[in-house]
Chain A
Amino acid sequence: MTTHDSESTSFLYPFIDSEETDAQSLLDDLAASARGKAAESARLQKASLDEYGDGLTAAGIDMADRFRRGGRLYTFGNGGSSTDAATLASLFSRPARGRPVAAWSLAADQAVVTALGNDVGFDLIFKRQIIAHARDRDVAIALSTSGNSDDLMTALTEAKQRGLLTIGFAGHEGGRMAAMASAGELDFCYTVHSQSIHRIQESHAMLGYRLWSVAQEHMARPAPNSVEAS
């Protein structure tokens, strides 16, 4: 069940857990824990924005240029990161304010995902969609708290070869995503330096929000020496 530790030792203290009756003490501990974790989340978000401020601005401007040329955004991740990828796509495609642009999550269509997973293998569920959809003016953003997911890496590699702007959101030490960026095989990689998957995901959301803000700001201005796409 939940607590292997307490289960493994509970035979020594058979009444400790079951006789606990003071809920207020637990509630106080929980509330303090919530505040502590929230403070860490806020600190990590700020540290990540500070560390990658220049890179986020450069990527956001590039994205704006691509959207001006009719480019589309594809986002992808696994599990909770796939839902965060979907939230990020929605931020671009139907923002509460500002200009919507074409964006969608590559995990959104269950027919496509299960067809690819069953027929060609799970590692290719995103890459095959990149092959099908991508044009060189598009953008690919992959979210992975480990930076190591095979299905994301193969899709990013494919996207880079096809001339897309490629962006990775990673965590922990950055994993293969960070290595790809160092080798010039990925345009931007933002690694959130934490060991907590939860805190990493909360920072990923803020990094995505910053990308959107920069892109919006630049789309609202006339493009330098270029003609708007028709």
Chain B
Amino acid sequence: MTTTAEAGGHLVDTDLSADLAAAALSLARRFHDGATLWVISPQWEPHAHHVAVEFVHPVIMGKRALPSVALVEPDPVAQARVASRPGDILLAVASANEPAVVDAMRRAPAWGAMTLWIGAGPRPPAGAANHILWVDSDDPMVPATGRFVLMYHLLWELTHVCFEHSGLLKPDAEECDETVCVTCSDEGRLGEVVIEPAEPLGPALVRTAAGEEWVDVSVLGDVRPNDLVLVHAGAAITRLDDAGQETNR
């Protein structure tokens, strides 16, 4: 594909600019509602730090400081799990095959976190994050040429433009992507087990985008902390395996 390491090329095309615009408006809406932006980049930690400092300490005087933290411990999934609250934002700068980021992006809906994924190379599958901001290049040097820096600079700049349009900062209509229970066409919310049942047939504590709730898991049998399940009408009806597929084990 393109040799992105050469300067002067086309850095942001029409599609990417539309993706950036949509992501910025979503970010502004979440910040407006009190979100914290958590940032992970297991392969390129400095990018996570750069995003965080960009939002916390803006380079343009007078722009509002926004809460953002780089999560750079050895297990970013565990760190993001304990940090995230419903309404927060999780941003990853990573290739599509980075295991920790794949896992975090899959779990984020259970944590109630909106997700953004910045990267290069082969794309993540559609829907792997709420917003995918991608450099379509096979060049492995992309992360060191300023392309990612440009991406999150633009994201920051556009987000602050959105704050000037307070009438448009109302809640997103975008997050209606919950998995639906095919049996009754009712909602099936993604949940992550927090506390396993204390006794057989007892309820498990599960966190979903709506918060924590005690859920009947008797249909599933044995569940363990951090298992991903679909919650419907107060019961966990399905377990998701490591690939995110429904499983009936």
Which residue of A has the minimal Cβ distance to B15?
Answer: A31
- Residues of B close to A41: CB separation below 8 A: 11, 146, 150
Chain A, range 94-109, C-beta contacts under 8 Å to B = 95-97, 105
- Residues of A close to B163: CB separation below 8 A: 1-3
Confirm or deny: A131 has a beta carbon within 8 angstroms of a beta carbon on chain B.
no
Complex Cα spacing A49 to B44, Å: 25
Complex Cα spacing A155 to B1, Å: 41
Residue contact B168 to A80, C-beta cutoff 8 Å? no
Confirm or deny: A144 has a beta carbon within 8 angstroms of a beta carbon on chain B.
no
Which residue of A has the minimal Cβ distance to B51?
Answer: A83
Which residue of A has the minimal Cβ distance to B139?
Answer: A96
Given the interface contacts A31-B14, A34-B154, does A26 sit within 8 Å of B5 by beta carbon? no
Q: Shortest CB–CB separation between residue A169 and chain B, in angstroms?
A: 12
Chain A, range 1-43, C-beta contacts under 8 Å to B = 1-4, 6, 17-23, 26-35, 37-39, 41-43
Chain A residues touching B, range: 35 or more
The prevalent SS among residues of A at the interface is helix
Complex Cα spacing A61 to B55, Å: 37
Residue contact A33 to B161, C-beta cutoff 8 Å? yes
Residue contact B164 to A202, C-beta cutoff 8 Å? no
Given the interface contacts A2-B163, A38-B150, A49-B7, does A26 sit within 8 Å of B144 by beta carbon? no
Q: Shortest CB–CB separation between residue A109 and chain B, in angstroms?
A: 13
Looking at the complex, which one of B8, B62, B161 makes contact with A46 (CB distance below 8 Å)?
A: B8
Give the A-B contact count at a CB cut-off of 8 A: 164
- Residues of A close to B145: CB separation below 8 A: 205-206, 209
Interface positions of A (Cβ within 8 A of B):
1-4, 6, 17-23, 26-35, 37-39, 41-43, 45-46, 48-49, 79-80, 82-84, 86-88, 90-91, 95-97, 105, 145, 197-198, 201-206, 208-209, 212-213
| Extra contacts besides A87-B44, A96-B140, A213-B5 (16): CB < 8 Å | A1-B64, A6-B164, A26-B21, A26-B161, A30-B161, A30-B162, A31-B20, A34-B16, A37-B153, A45-B8, A83-B50, A84-B46, A87-B47, A105-B46, A202-B153, A205-B144
Q: 24 pairs across A/B with beta carbons < 8 Å?
A: A1-B163, A18-B166, A20-B167, A21-B168, A23-B25, A26-B165, A30-B158, A35-B17, A37-B153, A37-B154, A37-B157, A42-B11, A83-B46, A83-B49, A83-B53, A84-B46, A87-B143, A96-B141, A97-B140, A105-B46, A198-B157, A201-B146, A202-B150, A208-B144
4 A-B pairs with least C-beta separation: A205-B146, A20-B167, A38-B12, A46-B8
Interface positions of B (Cβ within 8 A of A):
5, 7-14, 16-18, 20-22, 24-25, 44-47, 49-50, 53-54, 57, 59-60, 62-64, 140-141, 143-146, 149-150, 153-154, 157-158, 160-168
